[in-house]
Amino acid sequence: MQEGVVVFLDALGVKGIWARAEPESVISSWENVLKRLQESIKKSPKSGSIGDKPESLDYNISAFSDTVIITLKCKDDPAAHVPLVAKIVSEPFFYALVKGIYFRGVIAIGKFYLSDTLVIGPAIDEAAEWYTQPEWMGVSTAPSASFGLSRLEDQKADISKWFVKYDIPAKAGTQKNEWALAWPREAPKELISQKNLTTRGLILDAFANRPISVSAAQKYKNTLAFFDFVSGQADNRT
């Protein structure tokens, strides 16, 4: 077993997307999103240190059907590496949203085993249990990572660039005052210039481009509400 950080990203609505969008467009968007994630990983540091202990950092990304699993192996203190994973995920998440790939995900920390054909372990099990709960497009933290981030905060670490505390809408009721990835701060700059839209306008344009079912509508509203909260526009929207 290795130890580190695990991210599960599930693309919502893929099973029925063929009735709402051209297959070629969906496949192209999916491949571009995976490429974006891979490029983000390539830019990330391959070594680091916790205190006076140097260590190597080993990343992996796997895609199974409509799910992406990202892992970061580290020897010491996985919680301290959660902001690094957040940096990897934030901009590609926003890019995917604009391209019509709507991810719902979760971050966990702990032990896992990774091979060419298998990803298992306690951290994988926890992430798999929690990533289906939120009712939005966004990335939250499983309990392991939630407590880890709160410990970092207690140690006076500044994690505010990558995470915010938020009442996350979920199937079993609101998850009060939990950590959520602050992805609205990482808008893809080239898409803003290409479309000549505000950051919020990019999201509205993406949501307006495909039919939305009654059962899914609230997820879109919850996502926009979170965007407004993080970007400081919540008080000005109805």
At residue 196 the predicted structure's pLDDT band, cuts being 50, 70 and 90, is confident
Bigger pLDDT: 76 vs 80: 80
Bigger pLDDT: 166 vs 100: 166
Q: Is 117 exposed, middle or buried (0-12, 13-18, 19+ CB in 10 A)?
A: exposed
The percentage of residues in the chain with a pLDDT greater than 90, rounded to a whole number, is: 68
Strands (E) located in the chain: 2-11, 47-50, 53-56, 58-64, 67-73, 103-114, 119-120, 138-141, 163-168, 175-181
Q: Could you tell me the two tokens for 32? A: 């571009």
Distance (Å, whole) CA 225 – CA 238 = 9
What average pLDDT does the structure give for the chain? Answer: 89
Instruction: Specify whether the CB–CB gap between 74 and 128 falls below 8 A.
Output: no
Structural domain span for residue 222: 2-236
> What is the CATH number for 50?
3.30.70.1230
How many domains would you assign to the chain? Answer: 1
pLDDT tens by residue, 15-30: 665 555 567 777 888 9
State the pLDDT at residue 18: 53
Instruction: Specify whether the CB–CB gap between 126 and 140 falls below 8 A.
Output: no
61-70, 99-108, 169-178: the lowest-pLDDT one: 61-70
State the pLDDT at residue 15: 62
